[in-house]
């Protein structure tokens, strides 16, 4: 089973397979999201979940604090989706 993740502010959409992280799916489909460690410890890939259900995964409590979890933030390198999801990522929208 796969789900669709819409990435704001660009509106790009990616397909995420069951068990695949948001970051893995994005990179495999040529969609750039900021990341560094890829293991849930640096927080570079932190995104805001706007709609849908996401499993946080093995994110470090130092990289993703409890208050951020409550606000709907996840680390794209650890998070797996449980439904179609819309996220907001810290990416520049360059018209060129």
Q: Rounded to an integer, what distance in angstroms lies between the CA atom of residue 66 and that of residue 93?
A: 29
Q: What is the pLDDT of residues 35-58, one digit of tens each?
A: 999 899 999 999 999 999 999 999
Length of the chain: 96
- Helix extents (H) in 1-96: 22-28, 66-70
pLDDT lower than 70: segments of the chain: 93-96
Query: Contact, 49 vs 84, CB < 8 A?
Result: no
User: Which of the four CATH numbers 1.10.3720.10, 3.10.20.30, 3.40.50.300, 1.10.10.10 does domain 2-88 have?
Assistant: 3.10.20.30
pTM of the model: 0.92
Per-residue DSSP letter, 42? S
Which of these, 47, 51, 54, lies nearest to 82 by C-alpha position?
Answer: 54
Domain parsing of the chain, residue ranges:
2-88
pLDDT, residue 8, reads: 96
Which of these, 43, 38, 37, lies nearest to 61 by C-alpha position?
Answer: 43
Owner of token pair 């819309």: 86
């Amino acid at each position: 089973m796969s789900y669709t993740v819409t990435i704001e502010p660009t509106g790009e959409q990616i397909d995420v397979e069951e068990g695949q992280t948001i970051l893995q799916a994005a990179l495999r489909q040529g969609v750039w999201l900021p990341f560094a460690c890829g293991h849930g410890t640096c927080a570079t890939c932190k995104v805001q979940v706007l709609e849908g259900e996401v499993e946080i995964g093995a994110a470090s409590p130092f990289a993703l604090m409890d208050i951020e979890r409550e606000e709907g933030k996840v680390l794209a390198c650890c998070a797996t989706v449980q439904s179609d999801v819309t996220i907001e990522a810290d990416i520049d929208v360059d018209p060129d």
